[in-house]
Structure 1
Amino acid sequence: MYIIFDEQIIDSDEIKYLIEKNSDFKVEKDMCKATKREDVLAYLLTLDVDLIKKEIEEEYDLQDMEMDDLFEEYMQIAEEKAIELEEMMPMYSIMNARSYKWDMSENKIKTVIAIAHTDLGVLKLSDVVKRLLSETD
């Protein structure tokens, strides 16, 4: 899908390729159409829990962690990694990312990410992410 980004047009497949090539995330679904906007890129990303687990093991003993605390830590790290993707996005872009699910059957953290030009505004982009979260599994 093509998205209007300021005065240029961006192919969502190009950004998908950038994300998968330069990060540990896999793009599970292109959600650009689900935004119901022509100026927002959106994706459902997955991140392997084993990659996050290695980072947590450096700081904590996983045997002593409660399942709720572990879940929160996984969500926080996945969101931080998603926000780091902003470095490779087009100039003058803003991003919002929310991790929402630990899929234990696939052992992956699911995250919704939305990217737009700064003209859209952080609040509108946040609303887009909230709407996308209501449409996910």
Structure 2
Amino acid sequence: MYIAFGRRVVDTDEIKEKIEESTEFKVLKDMSKGTKREDSFAYNLSISIDILNEIISDDYSIDDLSEDDLFDEYMSLSEELATDMEDLLPEESIIDVKAYKWDLSDNDIRVVLAGVNEEVGEGKLKDVMRRLVTQLE
């Protein structure tokens, strides 16, 4: 899907490929159409619990964490890692990231990433994220 991004056109498939090639995230779905906007991109991503455990084990003993603490750590680490991919995204992007689910059947954390051109602004980005999270529930 092509989107109007500032003064240029961006292919969301190219962004998807960059994410999958350069990060540990898998793109489950291009949600750009679901934003109901022609100037934003969005993806449903997943990251394996095994990858998160490797990172967490550098700082903590996973066995010492309660399930609630582990859940919180997974969610915040997933959001942090997704936010770090901002360099892969089109210049002038502002993004919002929301971890929303620990999928036990696939043993991964699900994350939504949405982005707009900085000219569009934070307010519209928050609206886009609200719409996407509603679609997932």
Do they superpose with TM above 0.5? yes
**Counterpart residue number, 1:86:** 86
User: Which runs of no fewer than 5 residues in structure 2 stay unpaired?
Assistant: none
CA distance in 1, matches of 2:27, 2:89: 15
- Structure 1 segments of 4+ aligned residues over 3 angstroms from their partners: none
- What is the Cα deviation at residue 60 of structure 1? 1.1
**Counterpart residue number, 1:55:** 55
**Counterpart residue number, 1:124:** 124
Q: CA RMSD in A?
A: 0.9
Q: Does 1:103 align with 2:85?
A: no
Residue 40 of structure 2 aligns to which amino acid in structure 1? V
Residue 45 of structure 2 aligns to which amino acid in structure 1? L
- What is the Cα deviation at residue 107 of structure 1? 0.4
Q: Does 1:133 align with 2:129?
A: no
**Counterpart residue number, 1:45:** 45
- What is the Cα deviation at residue 90 of structure 1? 1.3
- What is the Cα deviation at residue 65 of structure 1? 0.9
TM-score, scaled relative to structure 2: 0.97
User: Which runs of no fewer than 5 residues in structure 1 stay unpaired?
Assistant: none
- What is the Cα deviation at residue 73 of structure 1? 0.3
**Counterpart residue number, 1:70:** 70
The percent identity for this pair of structures is: 44
Q: Alpha-carbon deviations, 1:52-76, whole Å to 9, x = none?
A: 1011111111112111110010000
**Counterpart residue number, 1:30:** 30
More displaced stretch, 34-43 vs 52-61: 52-61
CA distance in 2, matches of 1:56, 1:133: 26
Matched positions, count: 137
Q: Alpha-carbon deviations, 1:8-42, whole Å to 9, x = none?
A: 11111010001001100010000011000000000
